[in-house]
Amino acid sequence: MATYDVIIAGAGSVGLPAAFFLAEHKVKVLVIDELPSCGQGQNKSAIGGVRATHSDPAKIQTCQLSLEVFASWKDKYGDDIHFQRGGYCFPVYEEEHEKALKDLLVVQKEYGLDIDWVEGEGLARLLPGINRDGLRGGTFSPGDGNISPMMTARAFYKQAVRAGVEFRFGEKVTGLAGGNGSGIEVRTDKGKHAAGKFLNAAGAGAAEVGRLMGIELPIEPDSHEGGVTEPVKPFFRPLVVDIRAFPGSRNFYFYQEQGGHVVFCLTPEPIIPGLNRDSTSDFLPQSARRLIRLFPRLRNARVRRVWRGLYPMTPDGVPIVDRVRDREGYYVAAGFCGQGLMLGPGIARNIVSLMTTGSTLLPEDIFRSYSLYRDFTRPSEALK
Ligand SMILES: Cc1cc2nc3c(=O)[nH]c(=O)nc-3n(C[C@H](O)[C@H](O)[C@H](O)COP(=O)(O)OP(=O)(O)OC[C@H]3O[C@@H](n4cnc5c(N)ncnc54)[C@H](O)[C@@H]3O)c2cc1C
């Protein structure tokens, strides 16, 4: 049985950067994923938005770390992950939304976020062709942006392999033993492996992997759909979040990636719990209506493809990143809801620090937001 310092379950948005950063610390790592190659879980469902503008201080600081990694990746490692710093824009048409976003600005500025309120005129310059009827203005955070989820997964994978990480694809973690100070034995449908430490980064499968060692993780997936149009001439750069609720959807967000394709996603109302990933017949008509209502000039854009993926949800919309008490060597980084791509590298830097030095990079009182032992009934953060 081969022995490693760390075994990671999951080669996704979080497991891949964690593996790479561990290997940079000279840690011997094995990553196991049941799918045939890297990023094939929820990572490839993401539309690619990456932002530090949140309301939770832990998410703000984590995503600031992530953005540093994304922005410097090409210079440092040479791979193009299609990072584009186009910012995030929340256009506002309703008085109560204006008040809520302006109140939030105070907290966001306290944490050093580059974000401001932009009046209607300025917003229309950022988003040429936006529907001006009732437009009050909106927030704009120019430091945020977007990346290609697949190119990013590939880049982390490539550098991880180069740094010595071993990967076993098409292999499912089916059992765990140990956790009492003598390491952890990882059983799979193909064999057994042993490690000093184990990281559960299994995304939508994390609760199941938790139960393999009697750990209850409150993570329940629900599904969200995305779509992409044919390329059209680039005319806007920010990722736009329309926070208005309409029948059938809570909010809607989209951006134009570097090649001109408009990528979009919608939060269904009510949510659709479960693991079903078959596209629905509701998503496209709803999205098209919302897109054209906001950007009438996109009415002739043709949609190329739609897909449905999962948000691994926690009750309060905040991930679980922690060392498990009473199971020595067992760590969790899961429950990333709709934000695992943007949180991934920042979380990975912290969990790697926790595993190698015993403390996180973020201050303990901030990182506590991610605790497995927190009160999950507190009011939830905005889910996207
Ligand atoms: C439509 C849509 C749009 C989204 N847009 C964005 C966005 O713009 N920005 C953003 O930040 N996030 C977005 N997300 C959310 C993001 O995709 C997820 O939060 C993120 O991918 C979760 O990362 P993860 O590493 O936890 O899981 P994953 O990337 O799914 O990785 C987990 C891996 O674990 C493997 N696994 C599970 N169980 C086992 C097992 N027993 N044995 C072995 N392997 C196992 C899986 O095969 C998978 O590859 C979006 C999601 C959807 C559905």
Protein residues with CB under 6 Å of any ligand 1 atom: 9-15, 32-35, 40-43, 45-49, 172-173, 201-205, 209, 224-226, 265, 309-312, 334, 336-342
Residue of minimum CA distance from atom 15 in ligand 1: 338
Q: How far, rounded to the nearest angstrom, does the alpha carbon of residue 361 sit from its chain's CA centroid?
A: 19
pLDDT for 378 equals: 75
| Cβ neighbours of 76 (radius 10 Å) | 10
R_g over Cα of the chain: 21
The CA 204 to ligand 1 mean position distance, Å, reads 7
DSSP one-letter string for 291-346: HHHH-GGGTTPPEEEEEEEEEEE-TTS--EEEEPTTSTTEEEEE--TT-HHHHHHH
Inter-CA distances, 232 with 74, 236, 240, 253, 275, Å: 26, 11, 17, 18, 33
| CA–CA dist 37, 364 (Å, integer) | 35
Residue ranges of the chain whose pLDDT lies below 50: 382-384
Ligand 1 centroid, distance to 198 Cα (angstroms): 18
6 DSSP assignment: E
Which ligand 1 atom lies nearest to the CA of residue 35?
47
- Are the C-beta atoms of 211 and 341 separated by less than 8 Å? no
Contact call for residues 210 and 217 (beta carbons, < 8 A): yes
pLDDT of residue 380: 57
**DSSP code of 231?**
P
Packing angle of the helix pair 149-162, 15-24 (nearest 10 deg) = 30
- Between strands 184-188 and 192-200, the pairing is antiparallel
Phi/psi of residue 283, nearest 5 degrees: -60, -50
Other CB atoms within 10 A of residue 156 CB: 32
Of 198, 249, 341, the one to substitute when testing ligand 1's pocket (max ligand atoms within 8 A of C-beta) is 341
d(CA 309, ligand 1 centre) in Å: 8
**CA angle 380-382-384, nearest 5°?**
130
In this structure, the residue with its CA closest to atom 24 of ligand 1 is 203
The tens digit of pLDDT for each residue in 143-189 reads 999 999 999 999 999 999 999 999 999 999 999 999 898 999 999 99
Ligand 1 atom closest to Cα of residue 309: 53
**Omega before 270 within 30 of 0, i.e. cis:** yes
Compute the distance between CA of residue 108 and CA of residue 114 in angstroms, rounded to an integer. Answer: 8
Q: Per-residue pLDDT tens for 245-279?
A: 999 999 999 999 999 999 999 999 999 999 999 99
Can you give the pLDDT at residue 377?
86
- The Å distance, Cα 36 to ligand 1 centre, comes to 15
pLDDT of 384: 37
Whether 380 and 52 have beta carbons less than 8 Å apart is answered as no
Taking the CA of residue 209 as reference, the ligand 1 atom at the shortest distance is: 41
Q: Ligand 1 centroid vs 58 CA: distance in angstroms?
A: 20
Q: What pLDDT does 159 receive?
A: 98
pTM (whole model) above 0.75: yes
Residue 280, Cβ neighbours under 10 Å: how many?
14
CB atoms within 10 A of CB 142: 16
Both tokens assigned to 68: 């540093």
Distance (Å, whole) CA 23 – CA 111? 31
Question: What's the gap in Å between 46 CA and the centre of ligand 1?
Answer: 8
- What's the CA gap between 59 and 382, in Å, rounded? 12
How far away, in angstroms, is 12 Cα from ligand 1 center?
6
β-strands 166-169, 29-33 pairing: parallel
Helix intervals (H) in the chain: 15-24, 57-77, 95-110, 120-126, 149-162, 206-211, 283-294, 340-357, 364-367
Structure token pair of residue 97: 């939304």
Residue 343 CA, distance from chain mean position: 5
What DSSP string describes 190-225? S-EEEEEEEEE--GGGHHHHHHTTT-----EEEEEE
CA 357 to centroid of ligand 1, rounded, Å: 27
Ligand 1 atom having least distance to the Cα of 49: 8
